[in-house]
Amino acid sequence: MKKRLVVLTGAGISAESGLRTFRGSDGMWEHENIEDVCTPRGYSRDKKRVKDFYNFLRLGLKDHEPNAAHIALAQLEKRLGNEMLLVTQNVDDLHERAGSRQVLHMHGALMRLACERNPNHRFVFTGEETMETRCPFCGAMSRPDIVFFEEQPQYMEEIQDALRECEEFVYIGTSSVVYPAAGFKSYAHSFGAKVTCLNLEVPASDPYTDVCIEGKASIIVPEWCDKFK
Ligand code: APR
């Protein structure tokens, strides 16, 4: 179905829920080495270390609640139904816990594991992954369902189809430096969509963004959703 609205969220939408962003001061990548925990090489070198890192993040999610921005997007989905597509780069489950029903986690999800052997095998998982955890479909070793750098993000065909046809694309709480997500605004713009940015700090000028609204997600996202007709 043709989408009226495609929304892309990034770490900034979960910042006020107490989750670290990646690149801000005190961001995740100041504390962790990307090469060690978020690349295929790091995973091959030390699988246990990588599983433990994502176990820590997964188990920590229960201490964080969705904020007003997640809730506003869930309410907008209720209003727009299939005319809206929510895509997130986040691996947390705060959109789902706020009530969003259709969320495409393009960089994977902490609450799922994947299979080392078959990329189509994915399953819901809420506990602690060990070296013994197996894929329930084929018995191969599990791995975090996290898209490592240099791996292909998920749902790309579905996302690109929606971006080509949507009337409006809005990106929220993302630094727009990691591709392919960083390219969604120019792609949607080139197919005629209105492009809006909602972020704590907005770019001085961006040729592909028609409207920029600066502020905290918990304030500006509900306001923007209320006005969306
Ligand atoms: N409200 C709105 N925006 C905010 C807030 C807030 N309260 N706090 C921070 N931001 C903004 C920051 O200004 C920044 O532009 O959110 C953005 C977060 O940027 P990043 O930390 O780079 O996160 P993101 O863009 O989601 O990262 C993309 O990089 O390492 C990878 O896979 C990881 O999915 C992630 C990808």
Q: How remote is the CA of residue 12 from the centroid of ligand 1, in Å?
A: 4
Mean pLDDT of the region 147-176:
97
Query: Model-level pTM?
Result: 0.97
| Distance in angstroms (rounded) separating the CA atoms of residues 34 and 201 | 24
The answer, yes or no, to whether the previous bond of 119 is cis (omega within 30 of 0) is no
What gap in Å lies between CA 72 and CA 80, rounded to an integer? Answer: 12
Share of the chain above pLDDT 70, in %: 100
* Ligand 1 binding residues, C-beta < 6 A: 10-12, 15-16, 21-24, 27, 89, 107, 173-175, 178, 199-201, 216-217
Mean pLDDT of 59-68: 98
Q: Say if residues 46 and 33 touch (Cβ distance below 8 Å).
A: no
* Percentage, residues of the chain above pLDDT 90: 95
- For the chain, the helix, strand and coil percentages under 3-state DSSP, each to the nearest 5: 40, 20, 40
